[in-house]
Amino acid sequence: MLGILNIDKPQGLTSHDVVNHVRRKLGTRRVGHAGTLDPLATGALVVAVGPATRFLQYLPLEPKIYEFTVLFGIETASQDSEGEIVAEKPLPPDLETSILEYMPRFTGEIEQVPPMFSAVKKDGRPLYHLARQGIEVEREPRTVYLDEFSLLDVQGAVAKFRCVCSGGTYVRTLAHDLGQIIGCGGHVRELRRTAVGRFKVEDSIGVEEISQDQLVPLADALQPMPMISLSRELTGDVWNGQRVGVRPVPEQKFVALQDPEGRVISVAEVVVGGFLQPACVIPQEAFHAEL
């Protein structure tokens, strides 16, 4: 059993909760996810099953697209509505005008300091473990990229936004930093991830729909990565970890290799000399187990 699931994560579950749900439903321990969603958040969560977990790093998982609402005037410890209120400040006379004035500062390449309530590790310990003990430590800023940051609506102290961003972007921190520069503070009240690369939430399934029949084959999930069909002889070479040669030589850095049955068995790197060096291989036994 192997493949990819695009799951619409419900509010209240952690990404790991969803992984455990998949494990129970499909009866396998080998399950992993790409891109953590906070318990407050909902939306597209890409989950790999079986040997497909090896291929998560090669899936088209960017950009990430979010729609979220921010309550201005109130700051919380976690930068979202699940955290303790730490400050309340008056709103500017015209909140919408202030938002539109400062939003351009948050497009393109920006730096973010990861929130204390995050899975980022400090000396081997997740920051949220320290945060729950009331400990705050210095964090190194990280560079992220926002292709788009747009204001959708403003009603009183609540504004709705959409952002298109790189992986590793903390939407909670984006809302917090915008609130700080406006001067009134703010926190995320609702957050929904509508896309992870080519995986759209409108194509996702609910946790109650998880089944083996819903698994997306790697040949589909890896698109638009080029696919190269191998002969039976070259397929055997790949399973033995050997580099193989094909003509014409692909222009891309990575390509997917398919056996004569059309199953993806490897992602290979195009190396000097035009050879394809397997970077990730599904063991032959994995396909035997399906028979």
Catalytic residues: 38
What's the 3-state SS for 162-186? EEEECCCCCHHHHHHHHHHHHCCCE
Amino acid residing at 14: T
Burial 95-106 (b: 16+ CB within 10 A, else e): beebbeebbeeb
Structural contact between residues 226 and 256, judged by C-beta atoms closer than 8 angstroms: yes
Whose structure tokens read 């028979």?
Answer: 291
Joined together, the tokens standing for residue 43 give 């939306």
Structural contact between residues 71 and 40, judged by C-beta atoms closer than 8 angstroms: no
Structural contact between residues 192 and 201, judged by C-beta atoms closer than 8 angstroms: yes
- Phi/psi-derived region of residue 73, left when phi > 0, alpha when psi is between -120 and 50, beta in every other case: left
Distance, in Å, from the CA atom of 59 to the CA atom of 16, rounded to the nearest integer, reads 19
- Phi/psi-derived region of residue 110, left when phi > 0, alpha when psi is between -120 and 50, beta in every other case: beta
Structural contact between residues 290 and 282, judged by C-beta atoms closer than 8 angstroms: no
